[in-house]
Amino acid sequence: MTDFSMTPAHSRQQTRWGKIALRWLLYLILGVFAVYYLMPLFVMVTTSLKSLEEIRTGNLVALPRDVTLDAWKTAWSGACTGIQCDGVRPYFWNSVLIAVPAVAISTLLGALNGYVVAHWRFRGANVIFALMLFGCFIPFQVVLLPMARLLGLMGIAGTIPGLIFVHVIYGLGFTTLFFRNYYVTIPAELTKAAKVDGAGFLRIFWSIFLPLSLPIIVVTVIWQFTQIWNDFLFGVSFSQAGTQPITVALNNIVNSTTGVKEYNVDMAAAIIAALPTLLVYVVAGKYFIRGLTAGSVKG
Partner 1 sequence: MSKWIEDHLPKVVLAPSFIAVLVFVYGFLIWTAWVSLTRSRLLPKYDIEGVIQYKRLFAAPRWDVAMNNLFLFGALFIVISMVLGLLLAILLDQNIRTEGAIRTIYLYPMALSMIVTGTAWKWILNPGLGIEAMVRSWGFENFRFDWLVNPDMAIYTIVLAAIWQSSGFVMALFLAGLRSVDTEIIRAAQVDGIPTWRVYSAIIIPSMAPIFLSAFIVLAHLAIKSFDLVIALTGGGPGFATDLPATYMYAMAFSRGDIGQAASSAMIMMGVVFTIVVPYLYSELRAKND
Partner 2 sequence: MKRLALSVSAAALVVANAAYAEPKAEVLHWWTSGGEAKSVAVLQKEFADNGGTWTDMPVAGGGGDAAMTALRARVLSGNAPTAVQLKGPAIQEWYEEGVLADISSVAEAEGWADVLPASIAAHMKCEGSWCAAPVNVHRVDWIWANADVLEANGIEMPTTWEDFNAAADKLQAAGIIPLAHGGQAWQDATVFEAVALGILGPDGFRKAFVDLDEATLTSPEMVAVFDQMRKMRGYVDPNFPGRDWNLATAMVMNGEAAFQIMGDWAKGEFLAAGKAPGEDFLCASVPGEGFLYNVDSFAMFDVDGDDNKAGQELLAKLIVGPSFQKVFNLNKGSIPARTDVALDEFDSCAELSAADMQASSDGGSLLPSYAHGMALRGAQSGAITDVVTQHFNSDMSSEEAVKQLAAAVANSL
Partner 3 sequence: MAPILDIKNLTKNYGSVEILKDINVAIDQGDFLVLVGPSGCGKSTLLNCIAGLEPISGGSLHIGGQDMTDVSPKDRDIAMVFQSYALYPTMSVAKNITFGMKVRGVDAATQASKLATVAKQLQIEKLLDRRPGQLSGGQRQRVAMGRALVRDPKLFLFDEPLSNLDAKLRVEMRTEIKELHQRLGASMVYVTHDQIEAMTLATKIVVMKGGVIQQVGTPSEIYNRPANLFVADFMGNPAMNLIPAKARSDAAGTRIEIARRDSAPIVLTDSQNRNLPEDVVLGVRPEDIAEPGARAAANAQEADCLVDIVEPAGADTYVVMQLGGKHVTARLHAETDATPGKAQRLAFDLGKVSYFAPDTGQRLN
Closest alpha carbon to 299 in 220, 175, 184, 174: 184
Torsions phi, psi for 58 (to 5 deg): -95, -170
Nearer to partner 1, 124 or 211 (CB): 124
Which region, judged by CB under 8 A, interacts with partner 2, from 21-29, 93-101, 138-146, 176-184? Answer: 138-146
Contact yes or no for 245/235 (Cβ under 8 A): yes
Torsion-angle region of 255 (φ positive above 0: left; ψ -120 to 50: alpha; else: beta):
alpha
Could you tell me the smallest distance in angstroms from the CB atom of residue 169 to partner 1? Answer: 5
Choose from partner 3, partner 2, partner 1, none: what does 238 bind? Cβ within 5-8 Å by kind. partner 2
Which region, judged by CB under 8 A, interacts with partner 2, from 25-33, 108-116, 169-177, 232-240? Answer: 232-240
Nearer to partner 1, 175 or 243 (CB): 175
Q: How many CB atoms lie within 10 A of CB 256?
A: 15
Contact yes or no for 174/223 (Cβ under 8 A): yes
CA pair distance 273, 283, nearest whole angstrom: 17
Residue 195 touching partner 3 (CB under 8 A): yes
Residue 233 touching partner 2 (CB under 8 A): yes
Q: How many residues bind partner 3 (CB under 8 A)?
A: 17
Could you tell me the smallest distance in angstroms from the CB atom of residue 207 to partner 3? Answer: 7
Using CB under 8 A, which of 198, 211, 259, 299 touches partner 1? 299
CA pair distance 288, 223, nearest whole angstrom: 10
* For helices 70-77 and 263-291, angle between their N-to-C axes, nearest 10 degrees: 80
Residue 189 touching partner 3 (CB under 8 A): yes
Binding positions for partner 1, 101-130, rule CB under 8 A: 109, 112-113, 116-117, 120, 122, 125-126, 128-130
CA pair distance 147, 132, nearest whole angstrom: 17
Distances from the Cα of 141 to the Cαs of 12, 144, 148, 234, in angstroms? 62, 6, 12, 9
Q: What angle do CA 56, 83, 228 make, to 5 degrees?
A: 85
Torsion-angle region of 263 (φ positive above 0: left; ψ -120 to 50: alpha; else: beta):
alpha
Which region, judged by CB under 8 A, interacts with partner 1, from 65-73, 78-86, 90-98, 225-233? Answer: 225-233
Contact yes or no for 150/188 (Cβ under 8 A): no
Closest alpha carbon to 253 in 100, 82, 90, 138: 82
Binding positions for partner 2, 152-191, rule CB under 8 A: 152-153, 157-158
Choose from partner 3, partner 2, partner 1, none: what does 208 bind? Cβ within 5-8 Å by kind. partner 3
Binding positions for partner 2, 44-83, rule CB under 8 A: 56-57, 80-83
Could you tell me the smallest distance in angstroms from the CB atom of residue 258 to partner 2? Answer: 4
Which region, judged by CB under 8 A, interacts with partner 3, from 3-11, 103-111, 185-193, 287-295? Answer: 185-193
Residue 190 touching partner 3 (CB under 8 A): yes
Residue 197 touching partner 3 (CB under 8 A): yes
Choose from partner 1, partner 3, partner 2, none: what does 29 bind? Cβ within 5-8 Å by kind. partner 1
Choose from partner 1, partner 2, partner 3, none: what does 66 bind? Cβ within 5-8 Å by kind. none
Using CB under 8 A, which of 52, 184, 186, 210 touches partner 1? 184
